[in-house]
Structure 1
């Protein structure tokens, strides 16, 4: 990790160093004014992986009325390397902070990853490029990540956002890896689909809670990941917008879960106890349905793969607050 590593703890933001801004042009505001923008990343996790290392080169911002803006992320033309699996729940890392950009409306933002020097042919309508980013599995094997369609389109988040004139705004992008990472037909590669969610940090809260051990299937096992933490592949909580929703598998449509959270077996230092706990962070204020499954590892976001949910509950999230929902 680089020296300007930042995490959210209890929804409080720590400070970090600035990064350089390259490129740029006229703004997205008729007044020609500017504002300050900060951008962090977080992760809704994926099963079976021990690391998902993404190597960012730069970000592009597209004003609704103005020239495209480029923000370089690495120092001295180096890349910015982040293991997204370290950023679960309420944890995040800033890619840049307090960057001065034109005020106004923006159509999209786009992440660019470092391309592999090796030439790899990906035929077909989507095509793709190999990157130096990779996914590492529990058994130690690694696959490189492909961006479908090539690096020109990058990993684009199409939803718009705005930057206030003479004001500040702070966003977090959720890389929902359970939806984004899918196995490719070519050996040695996984595809990284464009499954990104942008939230305003001033308007989000979190849902956390425990899972009763008696709910786990008799043959279910967890694996020690590090001291005080065991991963439980397949055990996850899905979060859906609205109350009393009927939970379902991921299918890459408007009825999908907003985010998901892995259930982990954790040692709680304050009490000395062990408990099965999950945390879903960066949720906009509102009403949600949370549902528990032990079959998340079987969920394929590219096709209908019904999975069983063993329990569900309603939750209301307030900005800056953490809501407790136990199963």
Structure 2
């Protein structure tokens, strides 16, 4: 892939301080003023769709100080199916690229909206345009913006993964003939991430509250929350992908950081889940068999069968199994 860094980046680099000479005739080398950064995409799953294709043609980074860095992707990067990038799977969008070192405020992913570049195929049949909010009104070069700080080390390299939470991001407006991809994103530094995985006892899924559909292996999911969350809430975001529970005056429940579907292994029959690219730290996870009832545009009263605390360690997999009390 060939990528071109726009002049806004070059201008920022030219503005960096020059190496100065001391009075003794020698020179003190200034520390490196650039670093290497790469970006990949992973996905938290969605229900009722079989394929989500998306094409990116530009990435834009905004340093905390200085001009924006705009990188054209030539050729554009097409992810044929975001649903293939669940768990610990990811696909690179931008390879290692030299950028100004330091702290950044946001990253923007520019999407080529509409079929054939970006589209959604439903399980029931039918292929629909996939657009970023605004493109349905004719706007061009709309982007997904993730406002979350990250750092590119001077003289070093940082590999980032952007998690597109399709359960929150993907929506089909009522009566519309297209899907919208909202900016429900999170970014992690791959150096400090681990994985959570485990099994789910099938007996738990026989609970009377369950609304999942075993025939299509949908509707059972594990939700990831910050440790000591005020309460386990549903996925609830606005058109900008912003957490609605977080904006409530008296917050009584938290929105999940991301989610993972529980699926049945066709060979062993075991029900398993994997949540990848989780920053090291303390978290809570909760199991629900009502994820089909979780509309990201509404505050839904879904219930959870079990929950557990988990410690995520860099470059390790933390195992957490959900076991029925009736199991031997």
TM superposition score category, shorter chain reference: 0.7 to 0.9
> Residues 172 and 198 of structure 1 are in contact (CA less than 8 Å); yes or no, is this contact kept in structure 2?
yes
Q: Deviations over 1:182-212 (max 9, x none)?
A: 1213431111111110101001111100011
Distance in structure 1 (CA, Å) of the matches to 2:113 and 2:201: 45
Partners in 2 of 1:104 and 1:210 — Cα distance? 41
Q: Structure 1 or 2: larger strand share?
A: 1
Identify which of 273, 298, 306 aligns with 1:278. 273
Q: From the superposition, tell whether residues 79 and 171 of structure 1 become closer, same or farther in structure 2 (CA, over 3 Å).
A: closer
Distance, in Å, in 2 between the alignment partners of 1:104 and 1:195 is 25
Determine if the alignment matches structure 1 residue 110 to structure 2 residue 108: yes
Whether contact under 8 Å (1:25, 1:68) holds in the other structure is no
Work out the CA distance in 1 between the residues paired with 2:53 and 2:16: 40
- Assess, with a 3 A threshold, how the Cα gap between structure 1 residues 244 and 37 changes in structure 2: closer, same or farther: closer
Structure 2, unpaired ranges of 5+: 19-32, 238-242, 247-253, 323-328
Confirm or deny that 1:178 pairs with 2:178: no
Q: How does 1:187-206 map to 2 (within 5 A)?
A: 187-206=176-195
Taking structure 1 as the reference length, the TM-score comes to 0.80
SS class of match (2:108): strand
Uncovered stretches (5+) of structure 1, i.e. residues with no partner = 1-17, 117-129, 224-230
The C-alpha deviation readout for 1:237-258, integer Å capped at 9, x for no partner, is 0011104763221223332101
Look up the match of 1:42. 42
Distance in 1 between residues matched to 2:212 and 2:93, nearest whole Å: 38
Q: Residue 245 of structure 1 contacts residue 289 of structure 1 at CA under 8 Å; is this kept in 2? A: no
Q: Name which one, 1 or 2, has greater alpha-carbon Rg.
A: 2
Choose from 212, 227, 237 the match for 2:201: 212
Q: Secondary structure in 1 aligned to 2:282?
A: strand
* TM-score normalized with structure 2 length: 0.80
| Structure 1 residue 240 corresponds to structure 2 residue 240 | no
Task: Find out whether 1:222 has 2:236 as its counterpart.
Answer: no
Residues 212, 292 of structure 2: 8 Å contact kept: no
Q: How does 1:89-128 map to 2 (within 5 A)?
A: 89-116=87-114
Q: What's the C-alpha RMSD, in Å, of the aligned pairs? A: 2.2
* 2:277 is equivalent to residue 320 of structure 1: no
Q: Alignment partner of 1:96: what SS?
A: strand
